[in-house]
Structure 1
């Protein structure tokens, strides 16, 4: 039986991991950009674009380790004695980076912060950031959010007021909530007045699957339903289940064998942030949603979470070995064999909060629909070794089972 390591997630993005030639060249390119613009009127902004699993986070981990090593050891470097921070607006991923800091000589846990915390400390004059590295920048708030103690209009705008150089990674297909609504066009409009550069990563590193399956996921999550590919790679396990409980049992077996295997689900089931347990029931399947994780260990690495159902809020940004996904009531197959998205069945009430800059009813519906599809994209791309699917909708489930290209 597999004994799950408590630092499996850190091993996926550790700066000790080898980089590909492209990734190494990108790190060097960003370092050169940073030193070239460090003493100019800022901010200078470097954006790394890339889909889920294209290696964005490991590039940032290497980059930040080199930045801090030079800042703290290289007295003749332009980076000497600079004050630099790594930001991530996701508490579970923040735990991973702080764990990494504990194993690197020149990284400190305090180097890794939530954006709101750094913004508030900067406003009070307690910190004076030179370089900011932002992972999952598509999670930055783009409107005020009193729940998160952010009272500005846009977190990136607030950060740009103080930093000299900002390096961020961005994927518009991982935008999940109205309060962090972004598109590439909105980002590019924001940074266009400043010195900026960009790079796009395209190679899929996470999934040991064929490009056919990645293309199918991308099409599915843009509401283009096509038959599942037959050939998905000799090292990848793709299955569609008629029974959610049977899928759960398969995931449990994979977890015993290789660890880091979990069942996850889309919204569409009872879920309230009231501290209680809320269950997903699909026939024989009956498990609670993920509980708030107060520990320093990421949710997926806690042994007991094999008996919970993960969500985008615990799984986004993480590698799982095998992922079993329940596609909930918000998605179905219509009479024309097209993928239908039902906004009224989405139970994540936080996702659709109103924005003052979105007033066109047609655009609002389109954005909400894409947020739901984005959440599916995030979940489908979690599995390194395998993807197991179960659909709540009978017609969609039978289509996925029977149609293979």
Structure 2
């Protein structure tokens, strides 16, 4: 027996034309329910919850300026259960929205929901609502009604559209930050948040909330090039593509300059990747930057309000504005902290925050020893002896848990010989390209693409660089800390000749070994913080491994 019941209502011009018996009329009048209006032909969906559907339905029809004409909906699915209370129907509404958003690129549904800024819900039946109501509802009624395309919930959970959905329930701190920024959108804010703390969820939620609250607000949105497509798909699925368009920093600044455009507020995800003028930078990334220019000041010139979502340890190139300079440029900004760790869970004894603090300490990026070192002795983390071991670690988990996303990722310590843009490789098929990695008889190539690399069919056979993985999650990560680092006099230092990212090396006339070391260490901090369920690390330089082990107590 299912732990819920459903009513399938047929609508015509907003009126319920289904014949209802007394018991079902009572459900619609008095029970807490979650409901879904839909029109499959027109690709329109609205998900809601209420303690009295009949009353709420009439309120929808009476709305003066609705986002969508409720008379366009042809059907309504009403879900009810003796498990339901206010928290349960809110939670079920959120689950349905987030998973339907995850496949919006396939279904092409447009959701008419607003953003209610829902906070995390904790209640006694939460697990039952997920496993015994939502899972069954998704696989049965929603799938049969063609509201669902992919019945594989685990696969959808790995989608970036799911992870960054603007309908995600917010932590109390995320909700507090959204509320504070909404209260004064003319201020400038620096939101400091480490890897995995929910910056990108905050980004989509804040943008959606501002668009809902202020109808005429001119909002600019910036993220990195490999994520713009995903964010734009999200905003398209909620009918806001006309108002919310996500661009890179250079695109937004150039477009504003060419169109003499001003914004009321600009929100920047991954603000540590904002750029300064750098002669060796890619031409497309610096054409808007003159000598001495940097993007924060240029953004300030085209907006009153500015929100920077920022991690001081994720600047990975000389073209990125250095943390010391960002501190100087933002000295008058309102500082907000978002420190909770969502990516790496912990086990009750230690937390994801312990792991990140330990990584920063182990890499000598921080001298803060206040972390529980048991995180490095748990099954979550392991150091392996060989290149073969780290490849095998990822391969083993991929076979054991086929629905998880697991990849080998590495520092930029090998030439990118397989780059299909190189003249020598022109016209070659991917399988004919040279290998970038040839270690212990194992041959591998670098990532064949940057955009959405982890979802590409052949990516599990490749090694991901920092440019393909920054901003993404993995379940199990195999990390290669390469020979671009060594130890001298007790300090980790860069080995310049082994660092192969041409765009990531400081100019020769201003070369600074400390600066290069900081960039490379930041890269490894990012790589080590990708794994949700597990992380294995192989060190090419054993002196770095010994120092790492010593600092985390292994």
Q: 1:188 aligns with which of 313, 327, 339?
A: 327
TM-score by length of 2: 0.62
Q: Does 1:13 align with 2:155?
A: no
Question: For residues 229 and 268 of structure 1, do their structure 2 counterparts lie closer, same or farther at Cα, with a shift above 3 Å needed?
Answer: farther
Distance in 2 (CA, whole Å) between partners of 1:22 and 1:219 is 25
Question: For residues 98 and 250 of structure 1, do their structure 2 counterparts lie closer, same or farther at Cα, with a shift above 3 Å needed?
Answer: same
TM-score by length of 1: 0.83
Note the residue ranges of structure 2 that are not aligned, 5 or more in a row.
Answer: 1-151, 426-432
Distance in 1 (CA, whole Å) between partners of 2:377 and 2:497 is 40
2:265 match: 131
Distance in 2 (CA, whole Å) between partners of 1:2 and 1:111 is 28
Distance in 1 (CA, whole Å) between partners of 2:217 and 2:182 is 14
Distance in 2 (CA, whole Å) between partners of 1:224 and 1:22 is 24
1:238-317 paired onto structure 2 within 5 Å:
238-256=381-399, 257=401, 258-271=403-416, 274-275=421-422, 276=425, 277=433, 278-293=435-450, 298-317=452-471
Distance in 2 (CA, whole Å) between partners of 1:201 and 1:370 is 23
Q: 2:289 aligns with which of 147, 151, 157?
A: 151
1:310-356 CA distances to partner (integer Å, 9 max, x unpaired)?
A: 0110111111111101111112355x665443223211121124399
1:4-403 paired onto structure 2 within 5 Å:
4-5=155-156, 8-34=159-185, 37=186, 44-70=187-213, 79-88=214-223, 90-108=224-242, 111-125=245-259, 127-144=261-278, 145=281, 146-148=283-285, 149-152=287-290, 153-183=293-323, 185-192=324-331, 196-209=333-346, 210=350, 211-222=353-364, 231-232=374-375, 237-256=380-399, 257=401, 258-271=403-416, 274-275=421-422, 276=425, 277=433, 278-293=435-450, 298-333=452-487, 339-354=492-507, 364-397=512-545
Structure 1 residue 397 displacement after superposition: 4.6
Question: For residues 339 and 223 of structure 1, do their structure 2 counterparts lie closer, same or farther at Cα, with a shift above 3 Å needed?
Answer: farther
Distance in 2 (CA, whole Å) between partners of 1:213 and 1:191 is 28
Q: Is the contact between residue 53 and residue 206 of structure 1 (CA under 8 Å) also seen in structure 2?
A: yes
1:230-271 CA distances to partner (integer Å, 9 max, x unpaired)?
A: 622898521221122232122123234142211000011112
Q: Is the contact between residue 506 and residue 516 of structure 2 (CA under 8 Å) also seen in structure 1?
A: no
Distance in 1 (CA, whole Å) between partners of 2:276 and 2:478 is 32
2:535 alignment partner, SS class? strand
2:522 alignment partner, SS class? helix
Structure 1 residue 3 displacement after superposition: 7.3
Note the residue ranges of structure 1 that are not aligned, 5 or more in a row.
Answer: 38-43, 71-78
The alignment's C-alpha RMSD in Å is 3.0
Q: Which one scores higher on RCO, CA 8 angstroms, separation ≥ 6?
A: 1
Question: For residues 216 and 301 of structure 1, do their structure 2 counterparts lie closer, same or farther at Cα, with a shift above 3 Å needed?
Answer: same
Question: For residues 242 and 154 of structure 1, do their structure 2 counterparts lie closer, same or farther at Cα, with a shift above 3 Å needed?
Answer: same
Q: Is the contact between residue 138 and residue 175 of structure 1 (CA under 8 Å) also seen in structure 2?
A: yes
2:272 alignment partner, SS class? helix
Structure 1 residue 61 displacement after superposition: 1.5
1:85-126 CA distances to partner (integer Å, 9 max, x unpaired)?
A: 2101x2212222123223323355961111111111111226
Structure 1 residue 214 displacement after superposition: 2.3
Question: For residues 109 and 307 of structure 1, do their structure 2 counterparts lie closer, same or farther at Cα, with a shift above 3 Å needed?
Answer: farther
Structure 1 residue 23 displacement after superposition: 1.1
1:13-67 CA distances to partner (integer Å, 9 max, x unpaired)?
A: 2111111111111110111121xx3xxxxxx311101211122221121101111
Q: Which has the larger radius of gyration?
A: 2
Question: For residues 111 and 234 of structure 1, do their structure 2 counterparts lie closer, same or farther at Cα, with a shift above 3 Å needed?
Answer: farther
Question: For residues 339 and 7 of structure 1, do their structure 2 counterparts lie closer, same or farther at Cα, with a shift above 3 Å needed?
Answer: closer
1:74 match: none
